[in-house]
């Protein structure tokens, strides 16, 4: 067994779990100004209140796993994206504080609602731009970051940031379709349709940009025999996108949310096809950046114990708080 590959898949799974689970939380924050003040916003927040903080466990696992299993990648990526990482963390802090204080400080609720929206938007945008900064390539010399402070700020990274914002809005709106009813659900469908169209357009734009961004990326997608393995990803993604649009427009509750998750899954598979085997394109592969084998084995034992526990208590929380959200919620 190649432990480095196993660790790459563990971190990829943790990142995907975070993107999906905290993505719909952030998406609700992004959509917050469009929700009706009062009961509309309260019900939306109550739909995520039991699970939002637990969803961030996956961010800790992904970041900690990168530091432990691929320390060189961690040492290169962070200096290359420090402003974005700091912005993301501050956004998550504002989002978390606003989430609790809007219930406990009703006199200043408009301020906390704005903080909830702003923190969610900044965190989502920073995550997307970080992904774009990684995909566009990081300059590495002598196993250290050799770029400038603002290499992360390009039209491509801004496009990726907008794509993640739209995608999170899609996850948030389809979650609300599932959890709400009546007029609130109808409004969520209206939001979901627009978020879905924006997400599909931006995913396509980023995919086309990737082909012109790097000759090696273009070779992966456009030349034989690689194209035979890569072609099913965009084809299946297109089928999922059409099915999702139809589900949003019909009287479906949970199906739009699951299809939006599937859309993210195949988007991530596309990123895997584009980047593999690099962890920091274009110079560091997963084997270049990997920790010593003994360290990987030691950490794998811990992950084998903790990851099933995380999955179990996460699944239990979602099961306990299943169903539609009424006026009386977690708070």
139-161 per-position pLDDT tens digit: 888 888 888 888 899 999 999 99
Among 52, 53, 55, 48, smallest CA distance to 14 is for 55
- Domain spans of the chain, in order of start: 21-321
Per-residue pLDDT for 331 more than 90? no
User: Three-state SS string across 293-308, please?
Assistant: HHHHHHHHHHHHHHHH
| Range of weakest confidence among 12-26, 34-48, 78-92, 124-138 | 34-48
Distance CA 52, CA 42 (A): 15
Q: Is the pLDDT of residue 117 over 60?
A: yes
Q: How many CB atoms lie within 10 A of CB 137?
A: 19
What is the secondary structure of 302-325 as a DSSP string? Answer: HHHHHHHHHHHHHHHHHHHT-S--
Rounded CA-CA distance 91/97 in Å is 10
pLDDT at 126: 95
Name the least confident of 203-207, 227-231, 289-293, 309-313: 227-231
- Which pLDDT does position 154 carry in this prediction? 92
Range of weakest confidence among 55-69, 82-96, 169-183, 239-253? 55-69
Stretch 12-17: mean pLDDT = 90
Strand 284-285 and strand 278-280: the pairing is: antiparallel
Residues 6+ apart with CB under 8 A from 81: 130, 133, 134, 152
For the range 290-299, what are the long-range contacts, defined as Cβ-Cβ under 8 Å and sequence gap of 24 or more?
Answer: 290/3, 290/4, 290/7, 290/69, 290/70, 290/72, 291/68, 291/69, 291/70, 291/71, 293/3, 295/68, 295/69, 296/3, 296/4, 296/6, 296/7, 296/69, 297/3, 299/7, 299/65, 299/68, 299/69
Question: According to the model, what pLDDT value does residue 83 have?
Answer: 93
Output the average pLDDT for the chain: 88
My answer on whether omega of the bond before 277 falls inside 30° of 0, hence cis, is yes
Q: Cα 47–51–56 angle (5° rounding)?
A: 130
pLDDT band at 328 (very low <50, low <70, confident <90, very high): low
Structure tokens at 195: 């978020």
Whole-number Cα distances in Å, 67 to 9, 60, 61, 174, 279: 15, 10, 10, 33, 12
Q: Is the pLDDT of residue 219 over 90?
A: no
Look at residue 189 in the predicted model and tell me its pLDDT: 93
- Quick: pLDDT tens for 166-189: 999 999 999 999 988 888 889 999
Mean pLDDT, residues 24-42 taken together: 89
Report residue 148: phi and psi, to 5°: -95, 175
Q: What count of other Cβ atoms lies within 10 Å of the Cβ of residue 100?
A: 13
Give the pLDDT confidence score for residue 329 in this predicted structure.
54
Report the pLDDT value the prediction gives residue 119, as an integer from 0 to 100: 94
Contacts of 157 (CB under 8 A, 6+ apart): 128, 129, 132, 133, 136
Q: Nearest Cα to 149, choosing from 80, 87, 85, 73?
A: 80
Residue 28: closest CA among 293, 292, 328, 257: 257
Integer Cα distance of 123 and 129 in angstroms: 10
Q: Using the predicted structure, report yes or no on whether residue 295 has a pLDDT greater than 80.
A: yes
pLDDT band at residue 318 using 50, 70 and 90 as cut-offs: confident
| Averaged pLDDT for residues 48-65 | 82
pLDDT at 2: 85
Find the range with the poorest average confidence among 1-10, 16-25, 321-330.
321-330
Residue labelled with tokens 């609700």: 28
- Provide the pLDDT for residue 33: 92
């Amino acid at each position: 067994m190649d432990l480095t590959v196993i660790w790459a898949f563990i971190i990829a799974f943790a990142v995907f779990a975070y993107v999906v689970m905290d993505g719909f939380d952030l998406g609700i924050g992004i959509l917050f100004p469009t929700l009706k003040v009062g009961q509309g916003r309260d019900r939306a927040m109550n739909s995520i209140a039991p699970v939002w903080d637990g969803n961030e466990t996956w961010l800790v696992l992904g970041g900690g796993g990168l530091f432990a299993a691929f320390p060189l990648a961690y040492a290169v990526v962070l200096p290359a994206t420090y402003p974005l990482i700091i912005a993301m963390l501050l956004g998550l802090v504002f989002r978390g504080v606003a989430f609790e204080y809007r219930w406990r400080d009703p006199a200043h609720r408009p301020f906390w609602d704005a903080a909830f929206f702003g923190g969610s938007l900044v965190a989502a945008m920073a995550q997307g731009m970080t992904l774009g900064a990684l995909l566009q390539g990081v300059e590495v010399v002598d196993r250290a970051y050799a770029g400038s402070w603002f290499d992360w700020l390009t039209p491509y990274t801004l496009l990726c940031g907008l794509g993640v914002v739209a995608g999170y809005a899609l996850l948030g709106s389809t979650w609300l379709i599932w959890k709400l009813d009546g007029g609130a659900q109808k409004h969520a469908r209206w939001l979901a349709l627009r978020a879905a169209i924006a997400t599909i357009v931006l995913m396509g734009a980023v995919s086309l940009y990737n082909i012109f961004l790097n000759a090696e990326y273009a070779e992966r997608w456009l030349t034989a025999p690689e194209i035979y393995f890569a072609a099913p990803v965009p084809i299946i993604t297109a089928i999922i996108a059409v099915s999702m649009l139809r589900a949003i427009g019909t009287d479906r509750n949970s199906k739009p949310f699951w299809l939006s998750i599937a859309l993210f899954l195949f988007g991530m598979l596309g990123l895997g096809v584009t980047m593999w085997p690099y962890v920091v394109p274009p110079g560091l592969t997963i084997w270049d950046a990997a920790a010593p084998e003994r360290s990987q084995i030691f950490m794998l034992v811990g992950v084998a114990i903790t990851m099933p526990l995380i999955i179990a208590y996460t699944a239990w929380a979602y099961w306990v708080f299943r169903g539609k959200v009424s006026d009386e919620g977690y708070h």
